[in-house]
Amino acid sequence: VSEQTYCDRLVQDAPFLMGHGRLSEQQVDRIILQLNRYYPQILSNSDAEKFRNPKASLRMRLCDLLGHLQRSGERDCQEFYRALYIHAQPLHSRLPSRLA
């Protein structure tokens, strides 16, 4: 079995991550800010603003963010997992891709 890429993992983990109550507003904001602040090439300021728009539901913003990362490529997906680990460690350890 070949090693899963981070993009593959994100496809597998997205439904779990978007499950009700899994990620808080604060956790999603921190992940977005980390990707924007440390890796502006992953999330530009305008991307970050869009994904943090309080008028959109958290689930919708998360769905848009995960789709954006999947389209961006492997390194961006990997940095998302790093941010998820930092800001939501208990959730990170229960990801379907980690339990497989």
- Decide if 1 is inside a domain: no
Entry pTM: 0.92
- pLDDT value, residue 100: 67
- Decide if 42 is inside a domain: yes
Backbone angles phi, psi at 10, to 5 degrees: -65, -40
CATH number of 17's domain: 1.10.533.10
Q: What does the pLDDT look like over 11-50, one tens digit per residue?
A: 999 999 999 889 999 999 999 999 999 888 899 999 999 9
Backbone angles phi, psi at 3, to 5 degrees: -65, 135
Q: Rounded mean pLDDT of the chain?
A: 93
Q: Which domain holds residue 94?
A: 6-98
- pLDDT value, residue 40: 84
Count up the domains in the chain and report the number: 1
- pLDDT value, residue 7: 96
